């Protein structure tokens, strides 16, 4: 935190000179050279557009302006130190806020156990969940952690940790295939002629992978809806699944292979390392370990 505060060294030098009335003693306190202390004072005087100290027989004496700003600068530095110490001492009794942009469907089906564990361990930490605009909020440093697929993070300089991979399955009913005289393996050209059921947020990436523009029969918002539509024989469901999932929930539904198309996406957690609070870091580390065991 100190490194991110451009005035930190200027303030420390000012307080040290004010308290000791000596550039030499101030240098010992701050841990820099006497010359560096002098440069810091000059820079602060330039920022404040006033003279802060003058020399006397007794040493360095503060001006009336220095006396006036001393309480404010002292208060700023003490508040910064207090904030730093409170973050460094983060434990089960600490009060904090962790702001997350996680898909609600993922929270509800995949990580509710971790949320419960974290809330029980840190009862004074408030979790704030957001559903939309996660990356925009992260770039503005208005949120701590964002869960996004890797292709959404391309071109972004935020830190990210890969969590798990999802594979794409093409799901249809047996009767759907029989009516069209198709087997369990089809070509790209045949896929292009079939009614597709696909999530709205994956259309662009899907077209990039398959190499042609698609005209979905049904555009959905969730995997669950995609599966249900495919199960009713309404088309080919483009369904993403996690490792270990039971994909086929009905004897009537089968997964078909599209020759030359293998699609996967990597789920990542993104964050701004320089802005990560201790509470968010604790949540992040625990969550990453939780996902490894999924």
The bridge status of strand 96-101 relative to strand 145-149 is parallel
Residue 2 scores a pLDDT above 70:
no
pLDDT of res. 4: 37
Nearest by Cα to 106 from 54, 47, 166, 53 = 166
Q: Which structure tokens are listed for 116?
A: 């419960």
pLDDT of res. 151: 65
Overall residue count recorded for the chain in this entry: 294
Distance CA 233, CA 264 (A): 24
Residue 1 scores a pLDDT above 60:
no
Q: Which domains does the chain have, with CATH numbers?
A: 2-88 (1.10.10.10), 96-158+272-292 (3.40.190.10), 164-266 (3.40.190.10)
Average confidence score pLDDT of the chain: 84
Residue 180 scores a pLDDT above 90:
yes
Nearest by Cα to 191 from 239, 248, 238 = 238
Query: What pLDDT digit, counting tens, does each position of 145-163 carry?
Result: 998 877 666 666 788 899 8
Nearest by Cα to 198 from 182, 175, 222 = 222
Q: Which structure tokens are listed for 186?
A: 């089809």
Residue 104 scores a pLDDT above 50:
yes
Residue 221 scores a pLDDT above 60:
yes
Q: Which structure tokens are listed for 211?
A: 């190499």
Query: Which positions ≥6 away from 246 have C-beta within 8 Å?
Result: none
Query: Which positions ≥6 away from 277 have C-beta within 8 Å?
Result: 87, 96, 98, 144
Query: What pLDDT digit, counting tens, does each position of 9-63 carry?
Result: 898 899 999 989 999 988 888 888 999 999 999 999 998 899 999 988 778 999 9
From residue 136, give the alpha-carbon distance in Å to each of 106, 140, 144, 163, 204: 20, 6, 12, 21, 20
pLDDT band at 83 (very low <50, low <70, confident <90, very high): low
User: Is 115 within 8 Å of 107 (Cβ atoms)?
Assistant: yes
pLDDT band at 81 (very low <50, low <70, confident <90, very high): low
Compute how many other C-beta atoms are within 10 angstroms of the C-beta atom of residue 241. 17
Burial class (CB in 10 A: 0-12, 13-18, 19+), 54: exposed
Distance CA 211, CA 189 (A): 11
Query: What pLDDT digit, counting tens, does each position of 239-275 carry?
Result: 877 766 666 777 899 989 988 887 777 888 999 888 8
Q: Which structure tokens are listed for 204?
A: 């662009």
- Lowest-pLDDT range of 48-62, 84-98, 99-113: 84-98
Q: What is the mean pLDDT of residues 115-140?
A: 87
- pTM for the model: 0.57
Nearest by Cα to 148 from 269, 45, 230 = 269
Query: Which positions ≥6 away from 56 have C-beta within 8 Å?
Result: none
DSSP structural state of residue 56: E
User: Is 267 within 8 Å of 166 (Cβ atoms)?
Assistant: yes
Burial class (CB in 10 A: 0-12, 13-18, 19+), 72: exposed
Greater confidence, 294 or 10? Answer: 10
The alpha carbon of 135 is separated from its chain's Cα centroid by a whole number of angstroms, namely 8
DSSP structural state of residue 257: E
């Amino acid at each position: 935190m100190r490194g991110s505060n451009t005035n930190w060294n200027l303030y420390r030098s000012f307080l040290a000179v004010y308290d000791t009335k000596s550039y030499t003693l101030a240098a010992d306190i701050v841990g820099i050279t006497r010359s560096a202390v002098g440069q810091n004072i000059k820079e602060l005087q330039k920022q404040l557009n006033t003279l802060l100290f003058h020399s006397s027989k007794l040493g360095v004496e503060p001006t009336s302006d220095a006396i006036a700003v001393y309480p404010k600068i002292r208060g700023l530095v003490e508040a910064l130190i207090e904030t730093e110490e409170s973050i460094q001492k983060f434990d089960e009794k600490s009060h904090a806020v962790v702001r997350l942009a996680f898909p609600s469907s993922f929270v509800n089906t995949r990580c509710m156990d971790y949320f419960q564990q974290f809330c029980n361990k840190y009862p004074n930490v408030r979790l704030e969940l957001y559903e939309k605009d996660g990356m925009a909020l992260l770039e503005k440093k208005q949120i701590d952690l964002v869960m996004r697929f890797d292709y959404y993070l391309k071109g972004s300089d935020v830190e990210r940790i890969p969590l798990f991979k999802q594979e794409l399955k093409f799901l249809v009913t047996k009767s759907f295939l029989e009516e069209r005289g198709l087997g369990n393996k089809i070509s790209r050209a045949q896929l292009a002629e079939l009614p597709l059921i696909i999530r709205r947020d994956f259309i662009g990436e899907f077209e990039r992978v398959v190499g042609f523009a698609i005209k979905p029969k049904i555009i959905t918002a969730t995997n669950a809806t995609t599966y249900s539509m495919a199960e009713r024989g309404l088309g080919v469901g483009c369904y993403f699944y996690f490792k270990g999932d039971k994909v086929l929930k009905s004897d009537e539904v089968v997964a078909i292979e599209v020759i030359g198309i293998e699609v996967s996406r990597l789920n990542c957690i993104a964050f701004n390392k320089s802005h990560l609070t201790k509470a968010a870091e604790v949540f992040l580390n625990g969550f990453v370990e939780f996902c490894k065991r999924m």
